[in-house]
Amino acid sequence: MSPLYRNDEIEIYAPDTTASEAFAKFIDDRVSCGFASPANDFFHEPIDMNDLLIDNRDSTFVIKAMGVSMIEAGIHPGDYLIFDRGKPYYPGGIALCVLNNEFTVKYVDLEKKQLTPANKDFNPIQLSEGDELAIWAMLSWSLKKHYGK
């Protein structure tokens, strides 16, 4: 699958709306991250990952993180980010923005008029008069691979 857009920070993909369901077993119980639990006794109906992760297929995009500007928000290179254009902006949320015709993923602070990275090694992007900013979509989910990296 080839990206719809790519820069040094992100790649944007459209989800395959013709794909069949993606089911996974669902454990409807609290799962301890400490001592082991015999979880097989708690399996319920499978859960459709598409239904879980995508509220609106027509306005949802999958983005592959490429840079490290949002690392302190838990977003690392290679993570997949699920953005929904149908979700409204909210303060403190992570947004996919278009700033002067370039996509970027940042916190948006409209009061301070800046895009804020989640990495102390990066400075906030102060918006100036003449800058064109569009909050294109809001982050719904981030997915990362833990096994076999």
Enumerate the active-site residues: 69, 106
Residue with structure tokens 């239904």? Answer: 51
* Alpha-carbon span 96 to 142, nearest angstrom: 13
* Alpha-carbon span 125 to 104, nearest angstrom: 11
The answer to whether the beta carbons of residues 81 and 65 sit under 8 Å apart is yes
